[in-house]
Amino acid sequence: MPSPPALAPSTVPDPMAAPRVRWGVLGPGGIANTFAEAVRAGTRSEVVAVGSRSAERADAFARRHGVTRSYGSYEELVADEDVDVVYVASPHSEHREHALLAVAAGRHVLVEKAFARSLRETDEVLDAARAAGVLAAEAMWSRYLPQYDVVRRTVAEGTLGDVALVQADHGQLLWPDGPRRLWDPALAGGSLLDLGVYPIHFAHHVLGGLEDVAALGVLTPEGVDATLGVTARRGGALARMTSTMAAATPCAALVAGSAARVELTGPGWFYGAATTVRLVEPGGSVVDTFAPEHPEHGFRYQVAEVARAVAEGRHEPWSVPWTATRAVMTVMDEVRRQVGVTYPGE
């Protein structure tokens, strides 16, 4: 009797086994707090400095996370010789400027998603990093997780048969009462760079590329996208990706093939540290599952991979290589072109 199909095992190393690097945090906002907690609790690395335009905010962040040095400017942060890698956690409208600042100071950079506002800005940063001989990585943290490794390897091994459909959605009720950066065109607002980047990255991760992109969108009175629907193709597989900041959605993802499907379930597949991967046969029977042994501090996986890359002299991580960052940004540029969203300077 043949063995039942099974998920591929994760090959992601233990984050605690990664070498130590010294981090500087640029922009002490909400996501930077999550990052600092993951560094401290889940890796051997350390946040040694923080920089903000507000000395008071930097000092408060430093006291909260036990960081020894705080600066009232980004320039002082990137000039700190004890900082190996700068984590750019400012709003994505400022990623290009702040990443270039760190690279010019000779620092490696991990830049929050979306990496920049456009492919043009992305290439500016990557070209500068290449010229400076430093690492530049996109902090699309879910792609560094064991769950994403399991899904990618399961698809690659042919366990699902011929992949026909990839679906992923990300919707949170963040507009019209959310932060200004989400509705202001001057700040590259909208759902795409903040939410839609997740399902697009997921589909790219699974299929290895996206072609024939088609998009529809509903825009706010200010001219940014409130809701987007994106379809794309890769070979015989269709990808359907949606994002909205006008409603909360299930935030589910699946990859369906002729022999089986994988489903990502939990408190939101994009918050993947606690996500369970299920392998489901066509009849609906769950034949295998994968859940992380330690689901807390999911950001630690990207911290650890960057540390390994720096130690090995690589300029990009394995999980989100520059080709992936560029490909996803190319899709997002095309989505904006089709729905009529432009950012400053375009």
| Cis-peptide into 19, omega within 30 deg | no
Q: Which CATH number fits domain 143-339: 3.30.360.10, 3.40.640.10, 3.30.1370.100, 3.40.47.10?
A: 3.30.360.10
Of 12, 70, 63, residue with least CA distance to 42: 12
pLDDT at 131 over 90: yes
Chain region(s) in the chain for CATH 3.40.50.720:
15-141
Exposed e or buried b per residue across 257-268, where buried means at least 16 C-beta atoms within 10 angstroms of its C-beta: beebbbbbbbeb
Chain region(s) in the chain for CATH 3.30.360.10:
143-339
Give yes or no for a contact between 49 and 120, defined as CB atoms under 8 angstroms apart: no
Please give the structure tokens belonging to residue 174: 């963040």
pLDDT at 4: 78
pLDDT at 195 over 60: yes
pLDDT at 118 over 70: yes
* Strand (E) or helix (H) holding 140: none
pLDDT at 294: 78
pLDDT at 68 over 90: yes
The class of domain 15-141 in CATH terms is: alpha beta
Give tens-digit pLDDT for 220-269.
Answer: 999 999 999 999 999 999 999 999 999 999 888 999 999 999 999 876 65
pLDDT at 1 over 90: no
For residues 10-16, give the mean pLDDT.
95
For residues 289-310, give the mean pLDDT.
92
Q: What is the model's pTM? A: 0.96
Give tens-digit pLDDT for 28-40.
Answer: 999 999 999 999 9
Torsion sign over Cα 262, 267, 270, 275:
negative
How far is it, in rounded angstroms, from Cα 311 to Cα 174? 39
Of 162, 174, 330, residue with least CA distance to 256: 162
Q: Give the strands of the sheet with 69-71, arranged side by side.
A: 69-71, 46-51, 22-26, 85-88, 108-112, 136-139
